[in-house]
Structure 1
Amino acid sequence: MLEFFDVCIIGSGFGGAVCGAKLSEAKKTTLILEQGKRWDKNAFQQTQDVKYLKEIYEEFEGENIKISTGRCVGGGSLLYSASSLRTPSSIFEQKDKDGRRLWPSIYNKGSLNSYYMRVEKKLNVKQLLWSEVPKKDGIFAKACNAAGYTCDRLRTAIVNCRNCGFCHTGCKFDRKQSLILNYIPDAEKNGARIKEGCKALLVKRNEKGYLVVYKDLKSGLLNEVSCKAVIISAGAVQSPALMLKSKKFLNNLSDHVGKNLSANGDMFLAGYLPNEDCEVYKGKAQGCVTYAFWEEGFVLQGMGTLPISATVINRIRFKNAKRPFYWGIEMKRVMKEYGKHLLGIAVIGLDGSDGRVFLDENDNIRLSWSMSEKSRKVFDKAIARAKEIVESIGGELLITEPYQERGEVVTVHPLGTCRMAENITDGVVDANCQVFDNPNLYIVDGSVIPSPLGVNPSLTIAAVAEKVSDYIVQKFQE
């Protein structure tokens, strides 16, 4: 017998988990489909074992772009740095090259404040004390000051951190406020059902609203569920892919589906400081941020990293080295040395949304990135400023291969591929994240964010989800 729910949510990250908690609280029967599996503090591993990392991360690689996302109940919240920043108000006033405002008019300075407050309370977001800032970030702040720039403590969703250094593989101590500690248990307490290991394949219109076709990844069986409303929260890669696969079963999809992919200006840089013991592998993943370069289109943050990320993914090396250090004993030696003297720097900025998610002839997901002059200017300026900061305390900025040698972007903050807009000509969903011409079909995740944010996006995605959830609940009551 075909099951029926008021709402089916596809994905359980910062969009899906928030919507699941709020709609189930409003007594709406709620099903959440998640292709990843459940993890908790007892299952997380403090390791760089590639087999484990492939279980919790989902990697997408395309032409000039690599994207890393979470694949678990709770989505990327299990693996993120927990940096929780409000989007600067100027972002909501951004315009495109034709002078069109990117954000719908209801979004402006202050319009998300009450929703930010809800999320911050739920996730226990607080600004770090200087005594809580990791050593590496203190050195980053010192370097900023030496170069003549201000630097401040981050606001994070971490309570009584153990400073073990494994934020990006799952917190074994439940100190990082992942969604499995708040919104997801709230949803289940309110009666929401979560099916892990289930991948949505199609969304179709039917007489009751929508039919969602999904695959149980363990058994391989196909299943269907009927619902009045669907909320797609699968992220900026999977959400547009699902929309494209479902196109012939839906009404008049916008041409913007899959386009306008932003990497949120992400780039990892690293400095080598021979006179400092930075402890880059220890402590919180992030602790400091400088907004000194906001008018230039980016922020810089201190960044911890695991050895495998520094050497294999970003392939850092000295300028005079003939090749990166990433093999055998040599790699171990260099990782140990970098652990003492490496200063990680995260760039987050306002790129040109130069990417695209699309399907090939076999419906496989494909990505591409065509670097615009806007993006190149932001990245080049960020490299120059990071170099200035590192050299101010006697360091050397290292080469990170993806951008500096190959023109690639690597991001953990993909945005924009189903962007919200005032009309279907300019975007995929309206200001309430409802898909144009498809009543009760919503997309609520990073894909609807219509511009790069220039800061970590999790708090803003969750705030938008809080706002949209209120709208959906109200609409159910009409």
Structure 2
Amino acid sequence: MEHVDTVVVGSGFGGSVAAYRMAEAGRSVVVLERGRAYPPGTFPRSPAEIGRAFWDPEAGLYGMFDVWSFKGFDSVVSSGLGGGSLIYANVLLRKDERWFVTDLPGGRHEEWPVSRADLDPHYDAVEKMIGTAVYPLDRPPYDHTPKAHAMQDAAAELGLHYSRPPLSISFAPSPGAEPGVGLPLAEPPYGNVHGVPRRTCRLCGECDIGCNDGAKNSLDHTYLSAAAFHGADLRTEHEVKAIRPRPGGGYEVDYVHHDVNVRKGKRPVRTIACERLVLAAGTYGTTFLLLKSRAALPGLSGALGTRFSGNGDLLTFLLKAKDRDRVRPLDASRGPVITSAIRLPDALDGAPGAGPGAYIEDGGYPSFVDWMVPGLEPDEQIVRVVKFLWQRFVEFFKDAPDTNVSAELSDLIGDGALSVSSLPLLGMGRDAADGRLELRGGRLNARWSAESSQAHYARLRKTMRAMADVLGAEYADNPIWFRKRVVTVHPLGGAPMGRHEGEGVCDAFGEVFGHPGLYIADGAAMPGPVGPNPSLTIAAMADRLSTRALEDAANRGRSTHVPPRDGARRTQDAPGTGAGPASGEAGPPGGAGNGRAYGADSGRPERDRGTSSGAAAPTSLSFTEVMKGFVTFGEGDPRAGELAEAREHIAFRLTITADDVDRFLAEPEHTARAGGWVESAGCGGRRPVLRGWFNCLAPAGAEDRRLMRYRLHFADGEGRPRTLTGQKNVLHGPPTRIWPDTSTLYVRILDGHVPEGGDADAETLAAGVMHIRLPDFARQLTTFRTSGPDCAAALVRFGRFFAGELWEVYGPDAA
């Protein structure tokens, strides 16, 4: 069974943050995301593409929009690499300081287990990582954004608080630069997981159907790209089906791979094991998984499924709105989806009788004209696409009795609501968290309605009507409202945090009560509504969770040699990540085992316990190395394989560990363990190293020659054993040869798990050359870590050894 340190289920605002933090700290991380990746330019736009943009694997649909229908409300969430960030409207607002409470019957309030002060440092970290900016309304060409001015005017007339909230959008090509439309964006230091150029916002209003320009700083461009840079394995089209504790500690995760290139049929269930499991599949996904796994997770809190809410979401329309000169129709399609926010005060703010607080934000429409068949009049284009989309929407709700509201929608279209001459308004706030999620017939069911939050919705609708009056527009409810249904895009709760298991499923740091190492890092952990858009709060909670999880790992001694930064030694990675040879297999050549015992059941080195005589544990040293290059399958010569037309990319990321520095320096072959992954399309993508060895500047028969040898055993995507073997030739020459010699690796991929000395008898499947890029080498220098009683001196001894060996090769001749 594949075994890694951390498995993250889902890649939204909780999962992406946790994946990055764990990978940055040197953990082996696998992210399982059910949806596909969406590089800029691949989001659906045509009616045919939109028609298949829904998530329903049973119907062969693997699209981005996952629509849930329950009695009393409907919900839309996302499926894809980046989770909800692909379709959210970019707003990153902090939860108001006084709103960290849950309303109880009788006007009472219950404090959340976490406060604004607890989250502020993590809010700071997330905002910095994602990159935020307010809409630059005060400068051309952004000053011509009619809906933003309409929001300003309405707030001023009604005496309401107006602001331009922080948006996760790049308006400028780099931090501190002047904003501009459609400019090329500078790449961050960690690169981009898609490898596709991005450009600044074009003001097209397509934010919540996927940004094809890459101007939206969605999680795939930020946290997930950074996580991949640090070695996280991002696996798309992998849907988790079940979880359970693993005998001896940790967890097992069952999943299926939705390979869209394979014809429909039952997918085989695969399993991966981990020490830590982070559930971040969204409110519905995470709660559903826990409910299904209740029997396997004894002692789960009775609070599972409770405290569900829709964060007070409400959508309405201001019809036939005019611009601020009251002459031309207001064009709500210009700009990002949201530019402005109006805050309604809360009684907790000191506003007597105000009730729970709320926000109203402007909405917008994408440019439908680009989607349509040429030749239609604009009004006909809009009506045609809206009717088409609505028909698709209704098809997903055909089994729900009260959702077919086509007549109401048709009337609304006739009134011009769904055109660029109207202004959608998006409301949200502190509604009642009194809903419950449960299993019914093996499916997720929700018991929640808008009835208990009528005061909240009435206040929003009253304020929105007043805004319509100010703007000379006509007010219209969402047609679904007439059936007393709401649509929420911010479902929260279901596995709420609490101070103890009688109050919540997890603690204030997201760890599930009674199940160490199992974490909840998404909206399911919210004990009530956030109020404003919850994305930033979910991400900040995940950042706080990660900090505590890494601290706990060190304090509990789960990984004695894993310090909380990048490049750490991983004693818990194997089997599957190369921490040591499996039980019953031969040890590494040259004594890589260093005389240490290997656990018979786990295949990983036993935790440091000193020698039988009671001597102190040895000092270990580790560092991380990333190399990339090209190989050609069917070629046996590395130099030819690097240049052949049929070549393909290859890469690895290895953590090299010498368990005993003194033994490592003393033995002639200078052998260490190598764990991590090898990535090659010809071998099935990214594959964990099962066993690996590294020889550092080993003798090569001549005084002026050394070899740096690599031998990595892994299995390809079909489970067939493979060996990557390679060497760096460190030959005598001028000092200018040091960099090319020590950064160039000549590699071969062999059939089978080939031992040292067996290469000549093995079949060579591929050959090529790999290199260390200068940025990767600079990063490698920061990854050296030591652990044990003699850390500083051990690092100095290693440095002197390395420099001395290079001097022997590249130094001047004695003559």
TM-score of the two chains, using structure 1 as the length reference: 0.91
Instruction: Report deviation, 1:102.
Output: 4.4
Letter aligned with residue 497 of structure 2: M
Return the alpha-carbon distance in structure 1 between the equivalents of residues 321 and 124 of structure 2: 42
Structure 2 match to 1:359: 439
- Cα distance, 1:262–1:305 mapped onto 2, change above 3 Å: farther
2:478 corresponds, among 400, 403, 411, to 400
Given the alignment of the two structures, is residue 342 of structure 1 paired with residue 422 of structure 2, yes or no? yes
- Tell me, what secondary structure is at the counterpart of 2:98? helix
Return the alpha-carbon distance in structure 1 between the equivalents of residues 321 and 73 of structure 2: 32
CA contact (8 A) 2:283 2:523 kept: yes
Instruction: Report deviation, 1:284.
Output: 0.4
- Cα distance, 1:322–1:157 mapped onto 2, change above 3 Å: closer
- Tell me, what secondary structure is at the counterpart of 1:126? coil
CA contact (8 A) 2:365 2:420 kept: no
Instruction: Report deviation, 1:366.
Output: 2.0
Given the alignment of the two structures, is residue 66 of structure 1 paired with residue 74 of structure 2, yes or no? yes
Given the alignment of the two structures, is residue 202 of structure 1 paired with residue 242 of structure 2, yes or no? yes
Structure 2 match to 1:370: 449
- Cα distance, 1:305–1:340 mapped onto 2, change above 3 Å: closer
CA contact (8 A) 1:102 1:421 kept: no
Given the alignment of the two structures, is residue 84 of structure 1 paired with residue 92 of structure 2, yes or no? yes
Structure 2 match to 1:144: 155
Given the alignment of the two structures, is residue 214 of structure 1 paired with residue 255 of structure 2, yes or no? yes
Instruction: Report deviation, 1:326.
Output: 3.4
- Cα distance, 1:102–1:63 mapped onto 2, change above 3 Å: farther
- Tell me, what secondary structure is at the counterpart of 2:360? strand
Task: Identify which range, 268-277 or 410-419, moves more after superposition.
Answer: 268-277
Letter aligned with residue 359 of structure 1: L
- Tell me, what secondary structure is at the counterpart of 1:215? strand
Task: Identify which range, 298-307 or 414-423, moves more after superposition.
Answer: 298-307
| Partner deviation per Cα, 1:92-127 (whole Å, 9 max, x = no partner) | 1444337462411xx223221111111111111122
Instruction: Report deviation, 1:143.
Output: 2.2
Which has the larger share of helix?
1
- Tell me, what secondary structure is at the counterpart of 1:184? helix
Instruction: Report deviation, 1:67.
Output: 1.1
CA contact (8 A) 1:265 1:347 kept: yes
Instruction: Report deviation, 1:47.
Output: 4.4
1:300 corresponds, among 352, 360, 363, to 360
1:324 corresponds, among 384, 397, 408, to 408
Return the alpha-carbon distance in structure 2 between the equivalents of residues 150 and 477 of structure 1: 46
1:170 corresponds, among 190, 206, 210, to 210
Instruction: Report deviation, 1:180.
Output: 0.8
Structure 1 match to 2:26: 27
Given the alignment of the two structures, is residue 230 of structure 1 paired with residue 241 of structure 2, yes or no? no
Return the alpha-carbon distance in structure 2 between the equivalents of residues 70 and 386 of structure 1: 28
Structure 2 match to 1:5: 4
Given the alignment of the two structures, is residue 289 of structure 1 paired with residue 341 of structure 2, yes or no? yes
Return the alpha-carbon distance in structure 2 between the equivalents of residues 159 and 358 of structure 1: 40
Instruction: Report deviation, 1:170.
Output: 1.0
- Tell me, what secondary structure is at the counterpart of 1:387? helix
CA contact (8 A) 1:95 1:102 kept: no
Structure 1 match to 2:468: 390
| Partner deviation per Cα, 1:162-186 (whole Å, 9 max, x = no partner) | 1111111111111110001110011
Return the alpha-carbon distance in structure 1 between the equivalents of residues 207 and 386 of structure 2: 13
Return the alpha-carbon distance in structure 2 between the equivalents of residues 65 and 222 of structure 1: 33
1:417 corresponds, among 494, 502, 516, to 494
1:109 corresponds, among 104, 116, 119, to 116
Instruction: Report deviation, 1:274.
Output: 4.8
Return the alpha-carbon distance in structure 2 between the equivalents of residues 355 and 7 of structure 1: 31
Correspondence 1:50-65 to 2 at 5 A: 50-54=50-54, 55-65=63-73
- Cα distance, 1:309–1:121 mapped onto 2, change above 3 Å: farther
- Cα distance, 1:393–1:100 mapped onto 2, change above 3 Å: closer
* Superposition RMSD in Å: 2.3
Instruction: Report deviation, 1:208.
Output: 3.4
- Tell me, what secondary structure is at the counterpart of 1:130? coil
Return the alpha-carbon distance in structure 2 between the equivalents of residues 128 and 322 of structure 1: 36
CA contact (8 A) 2:103 2:432 kept: no
Return the alpha-carbon distance in structure 2 between the equivalents of residues 257 and 359 of structure 1: 11
TM-score of the two chains, using structure 2 as the length reference: 0.54
Return the alpha-carbon distance in structure 2 between the equivalents of residues 153 and 239 of structure 1: 33
Instruction: Report deviation, 1:289.
Output: 0.7
- Tell me, what secondary structure is at the counterpart of 1:120? helix
| Partner deviation per Cα, 1:200-253 (whole Å, 9 max, x = no partner) | 111111123111111112261110011111110001111010001111111211
- Cα distance, 1:325–1:409 mapped onto 2, change above 3 Å: closer
CA contact (8 A) 1:46 1:166 kept: no
| Partner deviation per Cα, 1:15-42 (whole Å, 9 max, x = no partner) | 0000000001111111111111111102
- Cα distance, 1:216–1:322 mapped onto 2, change above 3 Å: closer
Given the alignment of the two structures, is residue 118 of structure 1 paired with residue 125 of structure 2, yes or no? yes
CA contact (8 A) 1:58 1:69 kept: yes
| Partner deviation per Cα, 1:285-323 (whole Å, 9 max, x = no partner) | 000111144444211111114566799479xxxxxx994
| Partner deviation per Cα, 1:364-410 (whole Å, 9 max, x = no partner) | 2222323343x11100111011101111222211132223x111121
Return the alpha-carbon distance in structure 1 between the equivalents of residues 406 and 3 of structure 2: 61
- Cα distance, 1:111–1:341 mapped onto 2, change above 3 Å: same
Given the alignment of the two structures, is residue 256 of structure 1 paired with residue 316 of structure 2, yes or no? no
CA contact (8 A) 2:101 2:109 kept: no
CA contact (8 A) 1:47 1:169 kept: no
Return the alpha-carbon distance in structure 2 between the equivalents of residues 371 and 171 of structure 1: 32
CA contact (8 A) 2:315 2:477 kept: no
Structure 2 match to 1:318: none
Aligned length: 462
Return the alpha-carbon distance in structure 2 between the equivalents of residues 97 and 420 of structure 1: 20
Return the alpha-carbon distance in structure 2 between the equivalents of residues 154 and 334 of structure 1: 31
- Cα distance, 1:293–1:395 mapped onto 2, change above 3 Å: farther
CA contact (8 A) 1:9 1:31 kept: yes
- Cα distance, 1:66–1:212 mapped onto 2, change above 3 Å: same
Letter aligned with residue 299 of structure 1: Y
For structure 1, the 5+ residue unaligned runs are: 315-320
Return the alpha-carbon distance in structure 2 between the equivalents of residues 52 and 83 of structure 1: 27
CA contact (8 A) 1:8 1:33 kept: yes
Instruction: Report deviation, 1:341.
Output: 2.5
Return the alpha-carbon distance in structure 2 between the equivalents of residues 222 and 446 of structure 1: 27
CA contact (8 A) 2:506 2:513 kept: yes
Larger Rg: 2
Structure 2 match to 1:464: 541
Given the alignment of the two structures, is residue 435 of structure 1 paired with residue 512 of structure 2, yes or no? yes
Return the alpha-carbon distance in structure 2 between the equivalents of residues 59 and 325 of structure 1: 18
- Cα distance, 1:31–1:309 mapped onto 2, change above 3 Å: farther
Task: Identify which range, 146-155 or 44-53, moves more after superposition.
Answer: 44-53
Return the alpha-carbon distance in structure 2 between the equivalents of residues 385 and 343 of structure 1: 15
